[in-house]
Amino acid sequence: MLPKLIKYILAETPKSQETEIFGWVRTKRDMKNLIFIEVSDGSCFSCIQCAFDRSAGLDKNTEDALSALTTGASVKIKGRLVPSPASGQAVEIAAESLLIIGSAPAENECGKTPLLDVPAYPLQKKRHSLEFLREIAHLRPRTNTFAAVARLRSFLSFAIHRYFREKDFHYLHTPIITSGDCEGAGAMFQVTTLDPAVMKQSADGSSDYTRDFFGKKTFLTVSGQLEAEAYASALSRVYTFGPTFRAENSNTTRHLAEFWMVEPEAAFFELEDNMALAEDFIKSVLKAVLDECGDEMKFFDSFIEKGIIENLQKVAQAEFTHITYTEAVKELEKAASSDSGLFEYKPCWGSDLQSEHEKFLTEKIIKGPVIVTDYPKGIKAFYMKMNDDEKTVRAMDVLVPRLGEIIGGSQREDNLEKLIRRMNEIKLKTRDYSWYIDLRRYGSVPHSGFGLGFERFVQYICGMANIRDVIPFPRTAGQAEF
Ligand code: 4AD
Ligand code: MG
């Protein structure tokens, strides 16, 4: 029989039924005859309390195990489920036997562990800094914070799949290795089996990739969008949800080199439909989290970001504000002119909005989520649909307080001539994108899509300040441990 998870045991009616639990010891309190052990199996927030009563007579193995038991050890405990006299918990285990499955050496009074070369279990009962916990990313899921983030992340990805399934979007698996640069930003990780030290040069001095594994230069994908467009041009509505990679050397609290992206792409959707989808998507998934992750959300509200539940409830109800990039820049310029020290970078039409501008816009000007549209073509990717002004494109970014950009998307250029003209303008080799251009040759339709940074969404929901703390094993410039 499979072990029963603690979250189910805690929900049972205590009738002195025989119960067996498995988990890791969080605390041990030895009070002469009574010994209390709190055990967690990560299935829920609460630990289960196991009370050993020495005066009732315990077997020798259990007595020995109790004296050897330390925080972090894995255990199997048998006993009876009884009402708990303590406040804050309905039930506890009147424990009869204890088996240590795996010990976790602790420091003794001399600051040494019994086994000389085994360092002590680092998660002792005190508050550890998030920076310290990042160094022990393999053990941090045993803390309340990281267990809660992990459960939230898991639920959130399920809720996202459920949302798109209910809206008739098909889940599409796009390749991780690619030869194209979707965003044209050049921040890609190269994938090669060639040894750079012995790489042959072609006659023109450039490296010869014909001998490489794929016979050409390849990279880890920055986005599954282009391939998603191909499938949206056949199945109408698709979405991807997978890892994406960016070799941006930006050491910020909202950038990772490896992150997960959710990218819906829909045929016969114009920019307005795309905005409506993004808003409905965010609100529906937020509602699902608030309804179904109550314990985790209460924890984040108490310990990570006060008031976050109320804030997200409001967002899930309110209408998102829409503003064009041109209007947004005017607002930012106005704010900057009345306070010269407000921004590090001066807002200016034609330059990308800096994170400080995005945050000011959503936190101070709009005071809530905002969708910014119609950005200058020069700061957006080649595939975005040109507006009649020939200066701006049908782009949309969703900005939220605390983070700034959480979604980037657009209506796509579906006109063959215009797409080719734009690609030539910015010197993209059309022959490298011939299959993508084909989509405009054969049965082209208006279509749109967007990308949501999954980790930013997790950050937004749980209030964690640093993106490194919402992905199990973060990859950033200079950091690929574990
Ligand atoms: O705005 P981006 O670059 O858009 C695209 O990649 C489009 N191809 C998406 C589409 O239209 N299908 O990225 C989309 C989102 C951003 O809004 C941000 O939330 C997240 O991905 N993102 C990152 N998250 C963590 N670390 C990074 N380095 C990120 N770069 C982008
Ligand atoms: Mg973007």
Among residues 308, 291, 287, which one has the least CA distance to residue 299? 308
The whole-angstrom separation of Cα 29 and Cα 18 is 23
Q: Quick check: 316 and 291 in contact, CB under 8 A? A: no
Ion ligand 2, residue ranges at CB < 5 A: 408
| pLDDT level of residue 88 (50, 70, 90 thresholds) | confident
Q: Which of 261, 447, 475 to mutate to test the pocket of ligand 1 (most atoms within 8 A of CB)?
A: 261
Tracing tokens 């574990």 back to the chain, one arrives at 482
**Model pLDDT for residues 270-312, shown as the tens digit of each residue:** 999 999 999 999 999 999 999 999 999 999 999 999 999 999 9
Q: Where are the alpha helices (DSSP H) in 122-191?
A: 130-135, 144-166
Lowest mean pLDDT among 1-5, 93-97, 178-182, 386-390: 178-182
What is the average per-residue pLDDT within 209-216? 92
What count of other Cβ atoms lies within 10 Å of the Cβ of residue 214?
Answer: 14
The whole-angstrom separation of Cα 35 and Cα 386 is 71
How many angstroms separate the most distant Cα atoms in the chain?
Answer: 87
| Statement: residue 385 has pLDDT above 70 | yes
| Statement: residue 99 has pLDDT above 70 | yes
Ligand 1 atom 18: residue of nearest CA:
453
pLDDT at 109: 59
* Nearest-5° Cα angle at 288, 285 to 292: 145
pLDDT at 180: 83
The whole-angstrom separation of Cα 71 and Cα 475 is 30
Lowest mean pLDDT among 31-35, 60-64, 169-173: 31-35
| Statement: residue 112 has pLDDT above 80 | no
Ligand 1 atom 4: residue of nearest CA:
408
**Model pLDDT for residues 132-171, shown as the tens digit of each residue:** 999 999 999 999 999 999 999 999 999 999 999 999 999 9
Ligand 1 atom 1: residue of nearest CA:
408
The reply to whether ligand 1 has any atom less than 6 angstroms from the CB of 261 is yes
121 CA → ligand 1 middle, Å: 38
What is the pTM assigned to this prediction? 0.95
Among residues 282, 273, 364, 264, which one has the least CA distance to residue 320? 282
The whole-angstrom separation of Cα 306 and Cα 293 is 17
